[in-house]
Amino acid sequence: MTADRILDIENLVKHFPTKRGVVRAVDDISLFVASGDTLGLVGESGSGKTTTAQCVVGIYPPTSGRIAFEGNPIDVAFSRRPKELKRKIRIVFQDPGSSLNPKRTIKQILSVPLKVHGIGTPRDRLGIMSRLLETVELPPTEYLYKHPQSIGGGEKQMVAIARALATNPRFVVLDEPTSALDVSVQGKIINLLMRLGEELDLTYLFITHDLSLMRNVATRVAIMYLGKLCEIARTEEFFRSPKHPYTRMLLSSIPVVTDQEESLKPEKIVSRGEIPSPVDVPPGCSFHLRCPERMPICSDVDPAMRAMDDGRFVRCHLYEPG
Q: Interface residues with another protein (CB under 8 A)?
A: 44-45, 152, 154, 182-188, 190-191, 209-213, 215-216, 235-236, 239, 249-250, 253-261, 264-265, 270-272, 274-275
When the beta carbons of 81 and 209 are compared against another protein, the nearer one is: 209
> Shortest approach of another protein to residue 322 CB, angstroms?
31
Give, as one character, the DSSP assignment of residue 292.
T
> Shortest approach of another protein to residue 191 CB, angstroms?
6
When the beta carbons of 81 and 215 are compared against another protein, the nearer one is: 215
When the beta carbons of 168 and 191 are compared against another protein, the nearer one is: 191
> Shortest approach of another protein to residue 159 CB, angstroms?
15
Q: How far apart are CA 227 and CA 203, in angstroms?
A: 23
SS3 267: coil
> Shortest approach of another protein to residue 245 CB, angstroms?
12
SS3 134: helix
Residue whose C-alpha is closest to residue 29's, from 193, 201, 205: 205
**Across the chain, where does the E strand assignment appear?**
5-18, 21-34, 38-43, 64-69, 72-73, 89-92, 171-175, 203-208, 220-225, 228-234, 306-307, 313-314
Residue whose C-alpha is closest to residue 85's, from 165, 173, 169: 169
When the beta carbons of 192 and 305 are compared against another protein, the nearer one is: 192
SS3 308: coil
> Shortest approach of another protein to residue 150 CB, angstroms?
11
DSSP string, 163-179: HHHTT--SEEEEESTTT
When the beta carbons of 86 and 209 are compared against another protein, the nearer one is: 209
> Shortest approach of another protein to residue 209 CB, angstroms?
7
Q: How far apart are CA 142 and CA 276, in angstroms?
A: 48
Q: How far apart are CA 5 and CA 37, in angstroms?
A: 10
> Shortest approach of another protein to residue 210 CB, angstroms?
7
When the beta carbons of 256 and 308 are compared against another protein, the nearer one is: 256
When the beta carbons of 86 and 188 are compared against another protein, the nearer one is: 188
